[in-house]
Amino acid sequence: MEDDKIISIIVPVYNVEEYLNECLDSIKRQTYKNIEVILVNDGSTDGSKEICEKYCKRDTRFRLMNQTNQGQSVARNRGMQETTGEFLTFVDSDDIIKEDMLEQLMKQMTSENIDIVECWYTHNEQELKPKTEENIGIVFRGDAKEALISLCRDNIVRLNPVAKLFRREVILNFPFLEGFIYEDVYSGIGILKQIRNMVKINYTGYYYRLRSGSTMNREFNLKNLDLFTICDKVEQLYEGDVDILPYIHRRLFHLVLMHVVDYRIFEGNPYQEKYVEYLNRYAKSSSRSFLMRAYRLFPKNIVFISRVVGAIQWRFEKYIVKRFWRGLK
């Protein structure tokens, strides 16, 4: 029976008292009951620790670890070391999971050679509401190479560690990179080197909250230059792999370009040359997207072009891709 296997849920916690009850309630309501919840309090200075203690007293499946503030990656790694489950998943402490998310992910762990099962996440909480009829099909099934190509080319497989169920030994063999932001890029790409096969299902089970204080939603500062270190480390993972590197370069091009657009790295910015250097390097890849070709032809107009293309892609994914898959029997 699949439901006799323990799923370990790791929740890094830092100053989220406004959202934490909602997050932990969504975990507590899971229809898959055989869980352990590892709460890692990363030196919170608000009431988050007390909220965690309350849940631990009320439900023996919850356990609390306290540490000085060291960042999300350290908290995730600490949590992983405390787990006992055969399968692991991550939930950010300001997010919400649908009540049957773990059950749906676990259903696809049907054989020993599947190491990751993923579902969609959303920035719209309304998408978590139960649907009268929900056709949960498979939108991706493939091995390590196919998963990486999907991540880099069509973004069906996603970078983020949330909304995924991992086989324990796979994620423990590739801990999160500590001391950097954008570590999810490194871990999201690097973990695919460790797997045999993965599956993604057409099911939205995770609400990813965007808020002004989050790591990925703030003004530019020098820490954002971690991006280039992360890009270099990702390239090193696949150094010499002539089949995969073009796809890696394609993904990194879009990541750097996203920075240019989001943080307004325009002419006169002291770091513009660094961004241009990396864009030029990746634009030479043999696996070129429309934006990469546009950059080679119209480099000075790439910000405008990328905004237009980004808006079109967002609507395509939201209103066409997901509905297409939902219509498959």
328 or 81: which leads in pLDDT: 81
Q: Are residues 56 and 130 in the same domain?
A: yes
CA dist 186 to 48, 92, 121, 195, Å? 29, 18, 19, 15
pLDDT at 239 over 60: yes
Domain region containing 266: 222-326
Question: Are 265 and 160 part of one and the same domain?
Answer: no
Domain presence at residue 217: no
State the residue for tokens 């920035």.
123
Calpha distance 31→69 (Å, rounded): 33
Q: What is the pLDDT of residue 212?
A: 63
- Axis crossing angle, helix 183-190 with helix 245-262, rounded to the nearest 10: 160
Choice between 220 and 125, residue whose per-residue pLDDT is larger: 125
Give the angle 210-213-217 at the CA atoms, nearest 5°. 55
Mean pLDDT in residue range 99-119: 94
Q: Among 147, 176, 207, give the residue marking a domain's end.
A: 207
Residue 91 sits at φ, ψ, to 5 deg, of -130, 125
Using the 3D structure, point to which of 172, 207, 242 is the last residue of a domain.
207
pLDDT value of residue 316: 44
Q: 91 with 149, same domain?
A: yes
**Residue 21 belongs to some domain of the structure:** yes
By the 8 A CB rule, do 108 and 197 touch? no
Is 310 within the bounds of a domain? yes
| Confidence at residue 317, expressed as pLDDT on a 0 to 100 scale | 47
DSSP for 150-181? Answer: HHHHT-SS-S-SSSEEEEHHHHHTSPPPPS-S
pLDDT at 215 over 80: no
The per-residue pLDDT for range 265-277, each reduced to its tens digit, is 876 778 889 998 9
| pLDDT at position 287 over 90 | no
Average pLDDT over residues 225-241: 95
Residues 168 and 22 in one domain: yes
Q: Do residues 225 and 265 make contact, with C-beta atoms less than 8 angstroms apart? A: no
Q: How far apart are CA 327 and CA 305, in angstroms?
A: 32
Distances (CA, A) of 256 to 31, 126, 196, 231, 319: 40, 31, 29, 9, 26
Domain-located, residue 19: yes
Kindly state whether residue 75 falls inside one of the protein's structural domains: yes
pLDDT, mean over the chain: 88
- Name 197's bridge partners: 114, 143
- Same domain, residue pair 320 and 195: no
- Mean predicted confidence (pLDDT) in 202-222: 77
Residues 312 and 197 in one domain: no
For β-strands 197-207 and 138-143, DSSP reports them as antiparallel
Query: What value does the mean pLDDT take over residues 167-174?
Result: 93
Band (191; pLDDT cuts 50, 70, 90): very high
Distance CA 287, CA 151 (A): 13
Are the beta carbons of 142 and 37 closer than 8 angstroms?
no
Average pLDDT rounded to a whole number, residues 146-164? 94
Most confident segment among 26-35, 146-155, 202-211: 26-35
Last residue of a domain, one of 175, 207, 239: 207
| DSSP conformational letter for 193 | G
Position 132 scores a pLDDT of 63
Check pLDDT > 80 for residue 3: no
Predicted TM-score of the model (pTM) = 0.88
77 within a domain of the structure (yes/no): yes
Q: Where are the alpha helices (DSSP H) in 199-298?
A: 226-237, 245-262, 272-283, 290-297
- The pLDDT of residue 319 is 46
Q: What percent of the chain has pLDDT over 90?
A: 67
Tokens of 147: 């998963």
- Across the range 63-77, mean pLDDT stands at 97
User: Number of folded domains in the chain?
Assistant: 2
The CATH number linked to 151 is 3.90.550.10
Lowest mean pLDDT among 23-37, 148-162, 281-295: 281-295
State yes or no: pLDDT of 328 exceeds 60: no
Average pLDDT over residues 28-51: 98
Same domain, 190 and 283: no
For β-strands 62-67 and 35-42, DSSP reports them as parallel
The span from the CA of 225 to the CA of 299, in Å, is 21
Cα gap 158→147, rounded to integer Å: 9
In this structure, the answer to whether residues 179 and 154 fall within a common structural domain is: yes
The answer to whether residues 247 and 148 touch, using CB atoms and an 8 Å cutoff, is: yes
Do residues 227 and 203 share a domain?
no
**Residue 215 within any structural domain of the chain:** no
Instruction: State the average pLDDT over residues 154-171.
Output: 95
Residue 214 maps to a domain: no
- Pair 176, 265 in one domain: no
Task: Output the pLDDT for position 33.
Answer: 97
Q: Are residues 232 and 195 in the same domain?
A: no
pLDDT at 305: 67
Same domain (yes/no): 282, 191:
no
When computed from its CA atoms, the radius of gyration of the chain, rounded to whole angstroms, is: 20
Rounded Cα–Cα distance for residues 96 and 23 (Å) = 5
